[in-house]
Amino acid sequence: MSGRIKNIDVYNISEKSTEKSSPWSSTMIIVRITTDDGLTGYGEAPTTLMTLPVLESVKEVMRSFVGKDVHNINSNVLDFYRNSFYLSRSMEATSALSAVEIASWDVVGKMLGAPIYELLGGKVREEVRAYSNGWYSDCVTPEDFISKAKIQKGKGFDAIKFDPFGNSFDVIGKESLEHAESVVRSLREEFGDSMDLLIEFHGRFSFDAARRACERLDPYDCLFFEEPLHPELEMRLPELRSRITTPIALGERVLNARDFMRNMVEGKVDIIQGDLTNSRGIMESFRIASIADAWGLPVAFHNAFGPIQTAATLNLDVSINNFLIQESFEESWPKWKRNLVKSGYTLNGGRFKLDGKPGLGIEIDQASLDSHQVEGMEPFDPESPPWVVSGTYIGEDNGSK
pLDDT digits (tens, 9 = 90+) for 142-189: 999 999 999 999 999 999 999 999 999 999 999 999 999 999 999 999
Residue 19 has pLDDT above 60, yes or no: no
**Residues classed as catalytic:** 202, 302
In angstroms, what is the C-alpha Rg of the chain? Answer: 20
- Angle CA 147–229–178, to nearest 5: 45
| Topology at the third CATH level for domain 5-113 | Enolase-like; domain 1 (3.30.390)
- What's the CA gap between 8 and 32, in Å, rounded? 6
Amino acid making up residue 260: F
pTM: 0.96
Quote the mean pLDDT of the chain.
94
Which class is 118-371 in CATH? alpha beta
Cα dist. 289→203, 232, 261, 269, 359 in Å? 22, 23, 10, 14, 20
- Between strands 341-343 and 363-364, the pairing is antiparallel
What per-residue confidence (pLDDT) applies to 252? 96
Residue 190 has pLDDT above 70, yes or no: yes
For the chain, helix, strand, coil in percent to 5 are 40, 20, 40
Residue 399 has pLDDT above 50, yes or no: no
Amino acid making up residue 347: L
Dump the DSSP string for 228-244. Answer: -B-GGGGGGHHHHHTT-
Residue 113 has pLDDT above 80, yes or no: yes
- In this structure, are residues 148 and 140 in contact, taking their beta carbons and an 8 Å threshold? no
- The residues, any chain, with a CB within 8 Å of residue 86's CB and separated by 6 or more, are 93
The ranges assigned to domains in the chain are: 5-113, 118-371
The pLDDT tens digits for 302-355 are 999 999 999 999 999 999 999 999 999 999 898 889 889 988 999 999 999 999
